[in-house]
Amino acid sequence: MCSIEVIKSIHGGKVLSVNIFLYILNKNYKRKRDDRNVFYWTCSTKCGAKICTVETSNGEHEIDEFSTFSEDQHSHAADPIAIEAKKIKENIKQQALTSNVEKPIHGLF
């Protein structure tokens, strides 16, 4: 079983975490055969590992039936600390963004 998680970046980027390996979104497209959104990811360390996911009906990601995940694809160990750091960083940015939006705009009326 794979544990998949998509970490959203406020800059519009997406980072995929599969069994504690981080992937950066390379491209995505709509597959005509089954009309699904297919996402191509490459390892964040540029070790050459790639993975494909498809979007499920509730917006989650699952590994595409034609793609496989294996830890042997990577020439390095997984880095759980990097993922936690990434999440914390994105959370802080998200909060900063939200508090800006909630600030009242003076002098509008």
List residues near Zn ion by CB under 5 A.
43, 45, 47, 49, 74
47 or 92: CB nearest Zn ion: 47
Residue nearest Zn ion, Cβ-based:
43
Q: Which residue carries 């050459």 as its tokens?
A: 48
The least distance separating Zn ion from the CB of residue 35, rounded to whole angstroms, comes to: 31
Q: Which is nearer to Zn ion, 76 or 93 (CB)?
A: 76
- Minimum Å distance from CB 16 to Zn ion? 12
